Amino acid sequence: MYGDNNNLILATIGLILVLLLGSLSLVSIVKINRLENQLEISSQTTEPVGGEAEEIPAVNLSIPEARSRENAFSLALEMWQEKEREEAEAGERIGTLREDLNPLLEELDLTLVDSSTLYRWPIENSRGEEVFTLLYGEREWELLSETGEAFTFDRWGQKGENFLREEEENRLLWIEKRLAGAALLEEIASHSKTQDLLIQKSCRLKTTRNEGLLTQIEILTRSEARPVLTISLKEDRLYLQGEALEPDQARDSFFSSLAQSDTRKEKDILLSRGLDQIKEIYGNKAFLDQLDELGLTPSWLEREDEDFVYLDLMDRDGAIQASFGVRRFTGGIHMLDGKGVPLVSLDSLMESAADIPEDREELKESGEDKKDLNILLVGYHNQSADTMMVAHVDRSEEKITLISIPRDLWWEGRKLNSYFFTEEPEDFLGIMSELTGLTVDNYLSVDMYAFIDVVNTLGGVEVTLEGEVRDPSYRIIREDGTEGTLYYPPGTYRLNGVEALRLVRSRHGSSDFERALLQQKILNSLKEQAGELSLGDWQTFRAFLGIAAEQSESNMSLTFMARKFLSMADYTIDGGHNLKDDSLLYSTYSNYIGLSAGEVSRVKKDDTYAKGQWILLPLNNDWELIHTGIERIIQNS
């Protein structure tokens, strides 16, 4: 009855061994070799040192033919005996080593502690802290120090004693220096001068502790929680802003750096830096001579609006002919004409694409690189994200599907586009991933004025309008100086950067979804022109990529973007997709949320009722519908 059930017996023995070894804090892996009628057991400790488990050599046991239940039990008993023998040998090994080690350990006030495992023994100090570890491998010992140093031996001798003495001395010195560094940080954190400077600078102090020790002090601005100064303890050394410090210099260096730190809002710092650069060039004799030849004089009087702070160039009659303006929020410097139309970003004239290989062959993708991508594209102005699209890249189909995400979606009590400026990029990508059901790992955001530079660099953009575009509220100044409003009849147009931006920015005369279709048309045309450029003049294309990258923000490197663009140059762009196509959304006012149909009907008649913001929500407030809709768009595109 039992004679033909060897596999069952093998499995039973395997389970017994797992239980036996498990009681010794081991994780055992049991492999059954049916053809050879063998059981192979390998084990790992569950107390890894340095983050890696200690692997124990595999044991191969031949399993005799089992003709009865009694044989199976006998075999299990034999294996228990084998375990007892191994424990005895391990005890003998550690016993011999303990005799050799104990005199030195007592001298150093250390203790070799008994262990429940056969291959690992801790050495503790008088406070019961493990400071060294003994490991036994294949006929070899290893002594590991808390500091990471290691000594390997087969017999304990003078070299081992020297290592243990020296390493214990180094360890105690390391601890002493680390404790002294932590104490110095405690003193700095509580010092009255630190508190006075925090009040003066309108900052707050943030501390980080590791195993009870103060290891880092960060000074953050109260308005933006922006780090302006960091002093930290790494191992046994102090660092101020990443630079190593001597302990006797730490206090004074910290106070001096905090006193001199710039705690203004980041946008104010960027704005001030840009204005300083303009003023510096306004004082340059060669530049002044160039202006004089043109009959222009620089004005030192700052002029501003919601987009720029200007330093004008005046003619001899005092009229503004041109300006250098610093963008609010970004600090970028632009040249503008006398009508206030941005002509070019100075960054685009100064930056190069030196990081992009001169030989396009160096940018060829490997097979591992060719994975599907989801890239968030954001167009913004000031602190408003006007346009949001997800580009789904299907590598197998060689297709890019563009899906517009409405900025007015009401996500957790706020409009979706507001999160772009209040959240860190990675957090915003997390929100977009949760909302769309896609894994959105990469983003590229472009300011509207950078859009002008990109279009002009490509020599304009061609776009075909199937119907008229009319925006009576969009005031423009024509090239002849006359004023008008935005209007394009149906037809094909070659637009410069400013003209293309007007179309992208226009908000009236078409719905949010119709505008998204137009934006995708322009993006598709830009992609085709850039692709033609990459296939032709590679050096010009490198320069274009450099300008585009410097005029945008992304978590993708310039080389990464160049590689992806080249590999996707022939991909089909399938645009024109938005969530409205699938009737997934409905519009309402934010203050109508939670009201019954009757209450909404009543407040609509009440002119004094504050409706709140015009928003979009998924039908039945079911956000899974958006996941389904996006998945359907990708599958059907």
Q: What is the pLDDT of residues 148-174, one digit of tens each?
A: 788 888 889 999 899 999 988 988 898
Task: Tell me if 41 sits within 8 A of 30, measured CB to CB.
Answer: yes
Give the pLDDT band (50/70/90) at residue 21.
very low
Q: What percent of the chain has pLDDT over 90?
A: 24
pTM of the model as a whole = 0.46
Give the pLDDT band (50/70/90) at residue 197.
very high
* Residues comprising the chain, all counted: 637
Q: What is the dihedral of CA 525, 526, 531, 536, to 10 degrees?
A: 110
454-468 tens-digit pLDDT = 788 777 888 888 878
Taking the C-alpha atoms of residue 97 and residue 106, their distance in angstroms, rounded to an integer, is 14
The gap between the terminal CA atoms of the chain, to the nearest Å, is 63
pLDDT score of 60: 45
More confident residue, 417 or 359: 417
**250: how many CB neighbours lie within 10 A of its CB?**
20
DSSP sequence for 85-98: HHHHHHHHHHHHHH
336-354 tens-digit pLDDT = 888 888 777 776 565 444 4
Query: Residue 398 phi/psi, 5° resolution?
Result: 50, 55
Q: Please give the distance of CA 221 from its chain centroid, rounded to a whole number.
A: 22
563-613 tens-digit pLDDT = 777 777 778 878 768 776 557 888 888 888 888 888 888 888 887 878 888
Task: Tell me if 629 sits within 8 A of 582, measured CB to CB.
Answer: yes
